[in-house]
Amino acid sequence: MNSPTIWIIAPAVIAVLLILVRNQRALSLIGGTAAVLLAASAQFIPTEEALKVGALSFRIESSLSVLGRELLIKPEEGPLLALIFGGTALWFFGAEASKSALRFAPLGLLITALMVASIAVEPFLFAALFIEMAVLLAVPLLAGADQPPGRGVVRFLIYQTLAMPFILISGWLLAGVEVSPGNLALAGQAAAVLGLGFAFLLAIFPLYNWIPMLLEETHPFVVGFLLWIIPTITLIFGAGFIDRYSWLRTSPELTTALQFSGLLMLVTGGLWAAFQNHLGRIMAFGSIADTGFCLLALSLDLRLGIPILFLLLPARALALAVWSLSLTILREQSKTMRFGETRGLLRRFPFASAGLVLASLSTSGLPLLAGFPARLALWDALARVSLDAALWMGIGIVGLFTASFRSLAVLSMADEYTGWEVGENWLQGIMLGLGMIGLFVLGLFPQAVQFFLTDLPAMFEHLGR
């Protein structure tokens, strides 16, 4: 038995079998339970060690060879797998409440398996192929069989596909840099091409216009999942590049580029969110700003920035899950999700409205909510490096807060004599209630996730140490 079989092949097989199931509740429960079991096993079952169960003794190997290529999941990567599968479990358990389980559970689990394979494959160049396969599988999730794909889906596919050749070319150039480390011209070319590839994958300004389009055109719950899994794996993949090449780690130009890109994402995302009149577009720009926070964490001293990056990821997963489920429920009442049509929905859908506002405020960094501890640590560390950068970060945060309070004002702006009612069904109420409690728990007790976040930097050879 080996790690890739357990955490890549097994979930892919389960995903294929789930296609045969037509019951939404069964799909949601099986998908969520499978993800939780995979997360728990990744956290608590050691690899490369002899395990004894009764009279049986076995060992989980780290690698698996497939067609001359190697899938390698090192023992230190167990907490990362726990984070990935634990985060995706939030969406699988919420799939029935969002009424999207029939397609989402099998395809979502298969996408997760492919994204895990992208950070496990050696040589690392083949990661681009796994990511592209995941992107292609995302298209049936975003575009129904009975309607043509919208502009957002088409741009998503084009931009994510354009990343693949840039990453493949950069890998070829980086191999030349390893042979001739003194060739500065080749190193510069490799860094530029690599940067373009990650700019497409992470939707760096101005390449993120497909995100607001998707949240106008398609199912918010599905889009929320993609906005979690693709940037998360891409950031880990990018950190692996930095860890692999010493000239990248020590490059002041890389630090400047990451800081500039992060601030650009945060400021534009925050300010543009503040002027939106569409609840879906506000979530889109909130996720864009969240990616900016992650890039800013990577721009810091990596002994400090890597732990902050990993602290940002669980809060992002929970906030996006609650936000996307809330939007999905409200979208059933307001197809366009514009302010004029969502006015006063707080009195008819209190759980969905509260979930949307709290998730938005968590992304903004409101104290007591999940996003606050990591953003406070990031802001403090950034201020020690550059007060100007900290000021720009503050401007982006103000924009996010403005969008959150505007959403709250619109949702609560009901007629004076409108009565209160609960429009959500019992499952939607339970899922949103648990999600909102989770936002407060992570905000009040950030140490609740430290038992696996502490070990995450160990997956890198040089970063975070």
pLDDT, one tens digit per residue, over 293-336 is 999 998 888 788 888 999 999 999 999 999 999 999 998 887 78
Q: Under a CB-based contact definition with an 8 Å cutoff, are residues 98 and 325 in contact? A: yes
User: What's the pLDDT score for residue 436?
Assistant: 94
Side chain identity at 179, as an amino acid letter? V
Cα angle, residue 195 at apex, residues 191 and 196 outer, rounded to 5°: 125
User: What's the pLDDT score for residue 183?
Assistant: 64
Global confidence as pTM: 0.91
pLDDT band at 374 (very low <50, low <70, confident <90, very high): very high
Share of the chain above pLDDT 70, in %: 93
Phi-psi sector, 359: left (phi>0), alpha (psi -120 to 50), beta: alpha
Q: Under a CB-based contact definition with an 8 Å cutoff, are residues 374 and 315 in contact? A: yes
User: What's the pLDDT score for residue 303?
Assistant: 80
Q: Under a CB-based contact definition with an 8 Å cutoff, are residues 48 and 75 in contact? A: yes
User: What's the pLDDT score for residue 336?
Assistant: 82
Half-sphere exposure of 235 (CA within 13 A, CB side): 29
- Euclidean distance between CA atoms 168 and 127, whole angstroms: 9
The per-residue pLDDT for range 55-90, each reduced to its tens digit, is: 666 677 777 777 777 888 887 888 888 889 998 998
Mean pLDDT across the stretch 453-465?
74
- Euclidean distance between CA atoms 158 and 193, whole angstroms: 17
